[in-house]
Structure 1
Amino acid sequence: MRRYLFPLILGCLGCAILVELGLWQLRRLEWKTAVLERIEAQMAAQPGHLPPAAQTSEAAKYQPVRLQGTTGAREIHMLTGVKGEGAGYEIITPFETGGRTVLLDRGFVAEAAKEAPRPPVQLTVLGTLHWPDEKTSSTPEPDLGRNIWFARDVPAMAAALGTEPVLVVAREVTGEGQGVTPVPVTTLGIPNDHLNYAITWFSLAAVWAGMTVYLLWRIRRRTM
């Protein structure tokens, strides 16, 4: 029996750890699903006015707003792509509304339209307050000479365009769109892979259990 004891303990311990990791991922899945449902409910709420400057912070992320104002003469072009459209740029401009100037992500233009003229225009915008978490340690710095950015970095973009560090992503635009197609905020870009992770851990637990049984069988064969 001593020959079986250590492999059996190791097998049971390994299976228990792997199963617990799978269960932890299921708990994370339940939490993430609740978060996504809360975000979707928030974005579906009745749009309001832009909160006062003192209250316009990341706590208002995903809040729908309706704004009237005028776009600025300057733009930031963020390299991106849209399924079915190919490569292009997200057009981000200052938006003067009610005595305040914020960032407005107007939407997508194809690569060929990057330098098309888009003079200041009055718009009514139904949008979503957003502070995207897109910039990582591997994100290149903006190519300011060609006006190409690689992530929506709200503080840096606000500093470059002289606006508040507040971004409104257009959902619907009334007025002269100037060829820009809104790309609304959705939950599709928020990863929720916890079910896949759980399946992976449970599969590893099954493999570990199978290896343990095989090892015990080999030990038994040697002792016969």
Structure 2
Amino acid sequence: MRRVIFLLIVSGAGLAILIGLGTWQLQRMTWKEGILATIEARIHGEPAVDLPTALDREADKYHPVHLSGEIGAPDLFVVTSLKDIGPGFRVISPFTLSNGRRILIDRGFVAGSDKTAQRLRGPATISGNVHWPQEVDSYTPAPDLDEGIWYARDADAMAQQLDTEPVMVILNAPPAGENAGVKPMPVDTASIPNNHLQYAITWFSLAFIWAAMSLYFLRRSRPEPKS
């Protein structure tokens, strides 16, 4: 009898934990869907024609802008790749607004063979989304400052290198006159994972298996009827 009681306690506790984890993943899925909806709304909102003086990295992230100014030099190159195209670089350039403020712009992707091509400089009108990418972790190699090659985007460090404000606009279209094979890589939600439904299904499946195994062991642990 003690063995049956012990199995009931263990089975119930395990089942409760697995169901709780599955329920938590469903809650996380709802939370993530809300975040993605907010990002989508910001990305496709009405673009501002002026960059606010005081920017909030959370409240203003992904907001669209349509700005006039001048594209400067030099460029920084972030190692990346595109499906069906292959390896290349993101091109990061300084951009001086009409009021004299200097920011960063992510112009998009160029193939490795186009790294040294002549790109648009001077007056330009850009459209894109405000962002503060910080993709560096403990495994990211240090940038090659002599060659201007970086292995992840880091808005703060890149701003210091190019003497700009630590804010970046990710272009969603090439500015008029750009003809150096630059392919914009706009901000979108496709790169933000939302796998919580799969995780929930996994936990609920484990809960079902646990329940079936518990029932099996409980049936085998029943005392044999006396003859």
TM class by smaller structure = over 0.9
Letter in 1 for 2:108: G
TM-score (norm 1): 0.93
Distance 2:56 2:145 in 1: 28
The reply to whether residue 36 of structure 1 matches residue 36 of structure 2 is yes
Give the distance between the partners of 1:58 and 1:100, measured in 2 at CA.
21
Name the residue aligned to 2:208: 206
Equivalent residue, structure 2, for 1:107: 108
Q: Distance in 2 between matches of 1:65 and 1:155?
A: 20
User: In structure 2, how many angstroms separate the alpha carbons of the residues matched to 1:51 and 1:212?
Assistant: 61
Partner of 1:88 in structure 2? 88
Consecutive unaligned residues of structure 2, counting only runs of 5 or more, are none
CA displacement at 1:214 relative to structure 2 = 2.2
1:129 paired to 2:145: no
Taking structure 2 as the reference length, the TM-score comes to 0.92
Label 1:56 to 1:207 Cα distance change in 2 as closer, same or farther (>3 A).
closer
Deviation of the 1:201 alpha carbon: 1.1
Deviation at 1:126, TM superposition (A): 1.0
Report what 1:141 is aligned to. Answer: 142
Q: Which runs of 5+ in 1 are unaligned?
A: none
Counterparts of residues 108-187 of structure 1 (less than 5 Å): 108-118=109-119, 120-177=121-178, 178-187=180-189
1:129–1:166 Cα contact (<8 Å) kept? yes
* Structure 2 partner of 1:76: 76
Matched with 1:5 is 5
Structure 1 Cα separation of the partners of residues 218 and 165 of structure 2 = 67
The DSSP-based 3-state class of the residue aligned with 1:18 is helix
Deviations 1:160-205 (A, max 9, x none): 1110001000012332213211110001111211111111111211
| CA-CA distance at 1:51 after TM superposition | 2.7
* Bigger fraction of residues in helix: 1
**Count of residue pairs the alignment pairs up:** 223
